[in-house]
């Protein structure tokens, strides 16, 4: 076994790998960019090495710096985690050339399975069913469009390199093929440095089921059952569970054997995942999609139902050990479900979010596990993947696991950074999810119904209570006496009290005017918490600065100055004509110039953050009169990007002016 292992990653996966290294008595080496100098994975490792500036392209993606860090610290092996260079064959080969063990499959296996076109051809030869689609690599835009028409709409455009849903585009209309191909190539190039695409038949209302495999260097390959990963948004998994309610024992065994054959077809070693797309109404008709040649984000659910530590077995296999168990020794016990906590704001269309973690509470206890890279004070920016942590639960059955996960998400507090925890909690209570009637389009169809349209009134009550508490004078040190005339309770001599008025706002909602009841206390404010009673119901919130949180949801309640807002409105400040950044990020595409005539809904710019693109469109017909950014510009949320003056015929409703 190794003495020292370098973890070539960051965030929650680095913390997760370090945990197993510590349990095995192996010295851990973390690496960090300037943005991560005080990150949790840096503090938890035995040794840490700076590898470059904040940008991933200048730090975590520079193989030479990782190898240099390994040499400086005496590491014998490199664990790549997932993302970054985990599925980079050149990096695996460079590790071997440097005398380091790459904790994963061989470079040739990574290369073969990383090319989705070659991978499909290889596993098909081994007898594994594949999704009908284009054949051959290096297809031009015209060839891709022709293949799509031949397959028949709808189709799915996919990058041949990489995975994780990045660059994937579901296209239902032939007329949209050109734009979708261009966008898919752009995203693929940005994510993987390779814009090669393939096109596959789209199966309506499919389920996404993957099989975990484990192989050693002595010819032994086993599967560890399946994971149901059908709950996705924008092709990104957000909830995963094991086992799947869809599969019976016969289908599970058949899919498991197909996954084993896929692994054997490329001489696989280590932990890997074979992904299948499965028609919900015919689970026996499954199709190979791709093989992920690394540890998966959702590996904990398999660990909880099998009792195996997959990181440990990655290490043991990489060290040359044999698997001491056969397929007959693998049993699945109980049910496990995982939820991915991401820095995104459901109330703003799930746009990437950021900020400093002001207050953090992560669930734990019987049957509950949290894998996290967070700590209080962590700065969450737009440079890296938006996933912050994972909450995983295990129970004797699926119903118990669902209840535990909903309760665990209700306990999750990440004030300072908007997350999807509350959304996930509501999703897990969706009738179709409870019934196990899943498909990959469920979340997109019902997402808006799971996002509250309004801010609950008790949120404003709590925010007002916190403000009034801050205004209250401190008792005199000597006597403990408080001057009643300085208490902000609206008291007036000989007249009814006049409550203090608070002008409040939450981003994305109209400002409100709120007053606490003048008669009798209705709130209790203490450090980190506030309790209010509204209409006879008592509500408790976590709080930090202007943030309030409850049941996984959070609200940033700021003061609103109506006079200042009116003055800004009168001065113009862009108004309805201004196009603002929907999220902090980088402008990647500018399609217009000052003076251009545009039409309502026309895409003018593209802003990218956390590997997600957002098209900024014209609000109405008009002329571009101001353009404040160029490709590569870094922008803050709500920063003005451009101004479109309305055309004479473009009527803006008077009430919106």
Q: What is the reported pLDDT for 193?
A: 87
Please give the Cα distance from 10 to 55 (Å, whole number). Answer: 13
Q: What is the reported pLDDT for 269?
A: 98
Please give the Cα distance from 349 to 639 (Å, whole number). Answer: 17
4-103 and 132-201 share one fold: no
Closest residue by Cα to residue 622 from 641, 589, 647, 588: 647
Closest residue by Cα to residue 201 from 122, 119, 289, 284: 289
Q: What is the reported pLDDT for 192?
A: 85
The fold of 334-451 is: D-amino Acid Aminotransferase; Chain A, domain 1 (3.30.470)
Instruction: Please count the other Cβ atoms lying within 10 Å of the Cβ belonging to residue 606.
Output: 19
Check if the beta carbon of residue 391 is closer than 8 Å to that of residue 419. no
Instruction: Encode pLDDT of 23-62 as tens digits.
Output: 999 999 999 999 999 999 999 999 999 999 999 999 999 9
Residue by residue, what is the 3-state secondary structure of 483-551?
CHHHCCCCCECCECCCCCEEEEEECCCCCEEEECCCCCCCEEEECCEEEEEECCEEEEEEEECCEEEEC
Helix (H) or strand (E) holding 49: strand 47-52
Q: What is the reported pLDDT for 472?
A: 72
Q: What is the reported pLDDT for 249?
A: 95
Angle, vertex CA 376, rays to CA 371 and CA 378, nearest 5 = 80
Residues of the chain with pLDDT under 70: 163-164, 473-474, 476, 480, 482-498, 518-521, 565-576, 611, 649-657
Check if the beta carbon of residue 603 is closer than 8 Å to that of residue 625. no
Q: What is the reported pLDDT for 489?
A: 62
Please give the Cα distance from 579 to 577 (Å, whole number). Answer: 7
Closest residue by Cα to residue 211 from 261, 285, 160, 139: 261
The answer as to CATH 2.40.50.100 being correct for domain 574-656 is yes
Specify whether the backbone of 643 is left (phi greater than 0), alpha (psi in -120 to 50) or beta: beta
Architecture of domain 4-103: 3-Layer(aba) Sandwich (3.40)
DSSP result, 280-336: TT-TTS-EEEEEE-S--TTHHHHHHHH---HHHHHHHHHTTPPPS--GGG----SEE
Q: Where are the domains of the chain?
A: 4-103, 106-114+207-325, 132-201, 334-451, 452-471+503-560, 574-656
Query: Which residues share a beta bridge with 531?
Result: 524, 540
Q: What is the reported pLDDT for 167?
A: 81
Instruction: Encode pLDDT of 191-240 as tens digits.
Output: 888 899 999 888 888 999 999 999 999 999 999 999 999 999 988 999 99
Q: What is the reported pLDDT for 567?
A: 60
Determine what percent of the chain falls in helix, strand and coil, rounding each to the nearest 5.
30, 30, 40
> If you search the block for the tokens 């260079």, which residue do you land on?
85
Q: In 562-657, which residue ranges form alpha helices assigned H by DSSP?
A: 562-571
Task: Pull the structure tokens for residue 13.
Answer: 């996966």
Helical packing angle, 107-114 and 116-125, nearest 10°: 100
Instruction: Encode pLDDT of 256-299 as tens digits.
Output: 999 999 999 999 999 999 999 999 888 999 999 999 999 999 99
Q: Count Cβ atoms within 10 A of the Cβ of residue 125 and give its class: 0-12 exposed, 13-18 middle, 19 or more buried.
A: exposed
Q: What is the reported pLDDT for 131?
A: 86
Q: What is the reported pLDDT for 73?
A: 98
Q: What is the reported pLDDT for 635?
A: 87
Task: Pull the structure tokens for residue 363.
Answer: 């669930």
Please give the Cα distance from 287 to 258 (Å, whole number). Answer: 10
List of residues 6+ apart from 27 with CB closer than 8 A: 3, 4, 5, 21, 46, 47
Classified as helix, coil or strand, 243 is coil
Given strand 221-233, what is the order of strands in its sheet? 287-292, 270-279, 206-215, 221-233, 236-242, 335-342, 387-395, 368-372
pTM for this model (two decimals): 0.85
Given strand 585-590, what is the order of strands in its sheet? 612-617, 603-609, 585-590, 634-635
The answer as to CATH 3.30.1490.20 being correct for domain 132-201 is yes
Instruction: Encode pLDDT of 153-168 as tens digits.
Output: 999 999 988 766 778 8
Please give the Cα distance from 460 to 467 (Å, whole number). Answer: 11
Given strand 155-159, what is the order of strands in its sheet? 169-171, 155-159, 197-201
The fold of 106-114+207-325 is: D-amino Acid Aminotransferase; Chain A, domain 1 (3.30.470)
């Amino acid at each position: 076994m190794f003495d020292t292992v370098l973890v070539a990653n960051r965030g929650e996966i680095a913390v997760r790998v370090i945990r197993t290294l510590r349990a095995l008595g192996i010295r851990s080496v973390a690496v960090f960019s300037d943005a991560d100098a005080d990150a949790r994975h840096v503090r938890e490792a035995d040794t840490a090495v700076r590898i470059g500036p904040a940008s991933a392209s200048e730090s975590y993606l520079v193989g030479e710096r990782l190898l240099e860090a390994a040499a400086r610290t005496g590491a014998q092996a490199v664990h790549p985690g997932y993302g970054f260079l985990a599925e980079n064959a050149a990096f695996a080969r460079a590790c071997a050339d440097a005398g380091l063990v790459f904790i994963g499959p061989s470079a040739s296996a990574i290369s073969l399975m990383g090319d989705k076109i070659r991978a499909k051809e290889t596993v098909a030869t081994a007898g594994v069913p594949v999704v009908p689609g284009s054949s051959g690599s290096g297809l031009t835009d015209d060839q891709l469009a022709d293949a799509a028409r031949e397959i028949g709409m709808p189709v799915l455009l996919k990058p041949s390199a990489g995975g994780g849903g990045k660059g994937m585009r579901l296209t239902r209309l032939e007329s949209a093929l050109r734009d979708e191909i261009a966008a898919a190539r752009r995203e693929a190039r940005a994510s993987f440095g390779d814009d090669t695409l393939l096109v596959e038949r789209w199966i309506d209302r499919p389920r996404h089921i993957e099989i975990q495999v484990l192989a050693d260097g002595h010819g032994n390959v086993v599967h560890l059952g399946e994971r149901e990963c059908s709950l996705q948004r924008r092709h990104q998994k957000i909830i995963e569970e094991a086992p799947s309610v869809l599969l019976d024992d016969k289908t599970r065994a058949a899919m498991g054997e197909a996954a084993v054959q896929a692994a054997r077809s490329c001489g696989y070693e280590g932990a890997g995942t074979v992904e299948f797309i499965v028609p919900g109404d015919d689970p026996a008709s499954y199709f190979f999609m791709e093989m992920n040649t690394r540890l998966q984000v959702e590996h904990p659910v398999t660990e909880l139902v099998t009792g195996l530590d997959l990181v440990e077995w990655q290490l043991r296999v990489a060290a040359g050990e044999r698997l001491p168990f056969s397929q007959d020794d693998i049993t699945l016990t109980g049910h496990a479900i995982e939820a991915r906590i991401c820095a995104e704001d459901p109330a703003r269309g799930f746009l990437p979010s950021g900020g400093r973690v002001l207050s953090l509470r992560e669930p734990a206890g019987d049957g509950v596990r949290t894998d996290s890279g967070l700590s209080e004070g962590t700065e969450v920016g737009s440079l890296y993947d938006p996933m912050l942590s994972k909450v995983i639960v295990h129970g004797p059955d699926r119903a118990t696991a669902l209840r535990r996960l909903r309760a665990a998400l209700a306990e999750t507090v990440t004030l300072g950074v908007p997350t999807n925890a509350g959304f996930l909690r509501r999703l897990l209570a969706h009738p179709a999810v409870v019934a196990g009637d899943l498909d990959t389009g469920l979340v997109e169809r019902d997402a808006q119904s799971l996002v509250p349209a309004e801010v609950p009134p008790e949120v404003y009550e709590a925010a007002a209570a916190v403000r009034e508490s801050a205004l209250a004078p401190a008792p005199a040190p000597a006597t403990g006496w408080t001057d009643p005339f300085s208490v902000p309770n609206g008291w007036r001599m000989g007249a009814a009290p006049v409550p203090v008025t608070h002008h409040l706002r939450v981003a994305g909602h109209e400002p409100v005017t709120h007053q606490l009841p003048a008669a009798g206390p209705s709130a209790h404010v203490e450090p980190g918490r506030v309790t209010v009673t509204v209409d006879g119901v008592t509500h408790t919130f976590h709080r930090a600065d202007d943030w309030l949180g409850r049941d996984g949801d959070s609200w940033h309640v700021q003061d609103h100055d109506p006079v200042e807002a009116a003055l800004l409105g009168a001065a113009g400040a862009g108004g309805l004509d201004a196009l603002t950044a929907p999220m902090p990020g980088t402008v990647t595409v500018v399609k217009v110039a000052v003076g251009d005539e545009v039409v309502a809904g026309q895409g003018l710019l593209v802003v990218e953050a956390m590997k997600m693109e957002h098209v900024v469109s014209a609000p109405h017909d008009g002329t571009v009169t101001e353009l404040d950014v160029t490709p590569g510009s870094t922008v803050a949320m709500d920063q003005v990007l451009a101004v479109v003056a309305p055309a004479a015929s473009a009527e803006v409703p008077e009430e919106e002016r």
